[in-house]
Amino acid sequence: MQNLKKIIIKRYNNIKILEKYKQYSFSGLKKIELKLINKFVKKNSKILDVACGSGRVLLVLAKKHDVYGIDISKKMVFLTRQNLIKRKLKAKLEVMDACSLKYKNKSFDCVLFLGNGFEQIPEKMNRIKALEEIFRVLKQNGIFILTTQSALFPDFKIWVLLFFQYVKYHLFKKIKEFEFGDLILKDITDVYIHISNPFFIKKRLKHIGFNLIKIVSEKNKKFPYFTKGLIYYVARKQSIKRFKRL
Ligand SMILES: C[S@@+](CC[C@H](N)C(=O)[O-])C[C@H]1O[C@@H](n2cnc3c(N)ncnc32)[C@H](O)[C@@H]1O
């Protein structure tokens, strides 16, 4: 297994991290998430929560929808399962990689990829694969809501950090999958995160066949791309997938 994927799996199977997520499980949806879901997701939808973690999002949605959740960490899935039992709720959970979904084409009305899950997929080709997989499992006119951090946030310190980490991990430590935009930080364990360029995300979503219907950020309403907080992309599956590579 590649080095970066090992870091991710090790983190989300770590007992202290699981304890932290256990406390976070019932914190509910953020205002902006609730607003977007209420606006774009119909009642009784069949929803897939990708990288569901300990179930923060899924536990709210399971009350009104037919919910499915996947996560790459076995222990996170176990934790969500326990949380569902505690609240007497139902959802179908599986350990699965977002880059290779085991669902049939056109299975879901809505797919959610919220709260830094997408940022934890190493390598551009894998992030593209995950977006293509989500497109595939969505029904025609299905809704996809994605969050990412923004590499365009004008913070000199972050740009310097990105540069030094690239030199350190890619060039010196020879982790060949470490790309510019990747960071390895410390929070109990190592945390891997990729800071995305929102122009790339937008272009890629469109190329795959999504119609972007809304882009908003929590902190910068006027210029959502230049935010320190998360960017929310709401996209609709509209066309047949084009196969031409960018
Ligand atoms: C920061 S947590 C987000 C949890 C949840 N979405 C939320 O908003 O509270 C990131 C989650 O992504 C999961 N993850 C990382 N890479 C993944 C992958 N390739 N496929 C599925 N899940 C993944 C991790 O195991 C972890 O539970």
Q: Give residue-wise pLDDT tens across range 214-227.
A: 999 987 777 788 87
- Please enumerate in sequence order all residues whose Cβ is within 8 A of that of 62, keeping only pairs 6 or more positions apart, or say none: 84, 87, 89, 90, 91
CATH entry 3.40.50.150 includes domain 3-153+195-237: yes
Question: How many whole angstroms from 101 Cα to the centroid of ligand 1?
Answer: 14
The predicted model scores a pTM of 0.94
Q: Is the CB of 120 under 6 A from ligand 1?
A: yes
Question: How many whole angstroms from 188 Cα to the centroid of ligand 1?
Answer: 17
Give me the residues of the chain with pLDDT under 70, please: 1, 239-246
pLDDT in tens, 21-49: 999 999 999 999 999 999 999 999 999 99
Residue 223: the pLDDT is: 79
Q: What is the Cα Rg of the chain in Å?
A: 17
Are 47 and 66 in contact by the 8 Å Cβ rule? The answer is: yes
Question: How many whole angstroms from 53 Cα to the centroid of ligand 1?
Answer: 5
Residue 242: the pLDDT is: 54
Structure tokens given for 60: 């709210």
Residue 174: the pLDDT is: 87
Are 154 and 226 in contact by the 8 Å Cβ rule? The answer is: yes
Are 97 and 2 in contact by the 8 Å Cβ rule? The answer is: no
Residue with token string 């690239």: 166
